[in-house]
Amino acid sequence: MGPIIPLFEISEEINLLIAFLIGIGFGFALEQAGFSSSRKLAGMFYGYDITVLKVFFTAAIVAMLGLLFMNYMGMIDMSIVYVNEYYMASAIIGGVIMGAGFIIGGFCPGTSVCAAAIGKIDAMYFIGGSLIGILIFGQTYPLWEKLYNAQYLGSLKLSDSLGIKDGILGLLVIVAAILMFWLGELAEKRFKREDISKEI
């Protein structure tokens, strides 16, 4: 069960079943939050709906606090928690491409699958475009390999980079979230669009 220290051994089959059930629950939560609507998702970028910001920021904070407290109580082994390797160049370029795709298409990879699962045609086209992009990137990888692997910084944690404890970083993230929620609420009032809210 990953880095969690269980009271009893969990088989690989049960591990996969738990992951499958969590995936179903995650998809259900996305759909119930309205994330199957491309207009609602794009609303974050235009300022009239910050639900995406609220949900994902809240999820990140809950996961962060869960890790901090479970580590403190000895319920999780943080030494085997995987931290993604950081390649600065590809992270920046990939972030720009991802952001542009999000604004243009109205979905991210996860929400597109959620929307396609309930029959949204635009999401199916989005997934098709994503698969074509993956295929093109894979076939032309030798052309991009040097750029893709540029500026490798290892498995970097923000708290280590800033030279502060994980708990202090957690507090700063919570403060930042509160500030962003407040600014988002102001933006929603400023850019409110009644026609969009009725269609979602």
Residues 186 and 145 reside in one and the same domain: no
Residues 77 and 88 reside in one and the same domain: no
Strand partners, 4: 76
Q: How high is the pLDDT of residue 136?
A: 93
Which of the pair, 87 or 80, is modelled with greater confidence? 87
Residues 74 and 104 reside in one and the same domain: no
* Tens digits of residue pLDDT in 94-136: 899 888 888 888 888 888 888 898 899 999 999 999 999 999 9
Which segments within the chain are labelled E, that is strand?
85-87, 152-155
pLDDT of residue 1 exceeding 50 = no
Q: How high is the pLDDT of residue 194?
A: 64
Token reading at 5:
């220290």
Q: How high is the pLDDT of residue 188?
A: 83
Q: What is the DSSP string of 28-57?
A: HHHHHTTTT-HHHHHHHHHTS--HHHHHHH
**Contact criterion met (CB below 8 Å) for 93 and 148:** no
3-state SS class at 26? helix
Q: How high is the pLDDT of residue 141?
A: 92
Mean residue pLDDT across the chain: 84
Please choose, from the candidates 132, 105, 131, the residue with its C-alpha nearest in 3D space to the C-alpha of residue 120.
105
Q: How high is the pLDDT of residue 4?
A: 60
Residues 177 and 116 reside in one and the same domain: no
pLDDT of residue 43 exceeding 90 = no
Q: Where residue 92 falls among pLDDT bands split at 50, 70, 90?
A: very high
Q: 67 in a domain, yes or no?
A: yes
Stretch 125-149: mean pLDDT, rounded? 92
What domain range includes position 22?
1-81+164-193
Place of tokens 């901090």: 68
